[in-house]
């Protein structure tokens, strides 16, 4: 299997975003399983949330998926 890096925008990830609560969360046109049905919800404290938003605003990369 060959892995190839691909740069995508946050907007592209949000495209097709669907939060079905018990069934999970998907994005990137249904190609990205953001939170599988068996995984608990992500819970950020306000300070952590603000740091993620600041990272995006400054154009820094987020975690590799």
Q: Report pLDDT digits (tens) over 1-35.
A: 788 888 888 888 888 888 887 778 888 888 888 77
What does the chain come to in residues? 65
- 29 Cβ neighbours under 8 A, 6+ residues apart: 15, 16
DSSP 42: P
pLDDT for the residue 40? 66
Neighbours of 18 (CB within 10 A): 11
Q: How confident is the model at residue 47 (pLDDT cuts 50, 70, 90)?
A: very high
pLDDT for the residue 64? 57
DSSP 41: P
């Amino acid at each position: 299997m060959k892995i190839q890096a691909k740069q995508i925008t946050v907007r592209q990830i949000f495209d097709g975003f669907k939060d079905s609560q018990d069934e999970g969360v998907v994005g990137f046109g249904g190609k990205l399983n953001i939170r599988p049905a068996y995984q608990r919800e992500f819970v950020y404290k306000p300070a952590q949330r603000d740091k993620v938003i600041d990272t995006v605003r400054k154009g820094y990369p987020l975690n590799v998926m």
